[in-house]
Amino acid sequence: MNTRGYVVGDDIVIGGIIRRAFAGFPWYEQLTEIEVRQRWQKIVSRRGFDCLVAAIGGKVVGFSCWDTPTIEELASERGPKLAKRFQDTVLSGYLLVWERELVVDPDFQRQGIGMKLRQEFLTKMDHEKLSVLVLTRMREDNLPTIKIAERLGFQRTGILIPSSQKPGVCHEYWLWVSQRKEYDHEQNTICCLRRHSSVAAGMGGPEKVCLAGTALL
């Protein structure tokens, strides 16, 4: 298995992967080809879109994609609470990255492909010239994905919202920062290890209740 950058010709294969993967746990969505095409076109059109694909024998079997929204775009899509939490961090010079999708073809899952894609994505983030703050969201019952994220250094923000697909289940927003940085839960800051200083992230303590009235796509 190898990873490489996305090319336009990957669209059709990626669309098939989305349809098959989203038909199963944890989404259970029956998407038409038109819906998949529209969803992918919307993803590709976002500010700073980039993508890695995983291939076996030349066949694309998974992908990871991300974009770089402004803090205003983050607030519009994900709500003001998340944006407000990290506004000062972004204004202090961090590159804000939204990890949008990490999807592996169901026929090739449980082979470490998701782990490899996320590792490659984070390696790219570590090579950015700016300090990087990655945000993403994971559903609380998607334990395999959460375990991978935790192993690679993702941390909980404590901000939860209800799932639009499964009543009683929440999504939680997660964060990751460049290797040069770490989130200090004691001081509620993102600390710069090399300079022995910190960048205030404006983070409050974990919240244990879902925020009503917010749904994810």
* 81, 60 contact by CB (below 8 A): no
Listed in sequence order, the residues at least 6 apart from 25 whose beta carbon sits closer than 8 Å to its beta carbon are 142
Q: Specify the fold of 66-200.
A: Aminopeptidase (3.40.630)
Listed in sequence order, the residues at least 6 apart from 111 whose beta carbon sits closer than 8 Å to its beta carbon are 1
pLDDT reading at 43 higher than 50:
yes
Cα separation, 194 vs 192, whole angstroms = 6
**Mean pLDDT score of the chain:** 85
Give 144-162 pLDDT, tens digit per residue.
889 999 999 999 999 999 9
pLDDT of 210 reads: 34
Give 9-39 pLDDT, tens digit per residue.
999 999 999 999 999 877 888 999 999 999 9
Question: Which has the closest alpha carbon to 2: 164, 113, 132?
Answer: 113
Question: Which has the closest alpha carbon to 190: 69, 86, 100?
Answer: 86
Phi-psi region of 112 (alpha: psi -120 to 50; beta: other; left: phi over 0): left
Annotated domain spans of the chain: 66-200
Mean pLDDT of 199-208: 36
* 114, 106 contact by CB (below 8 A): no
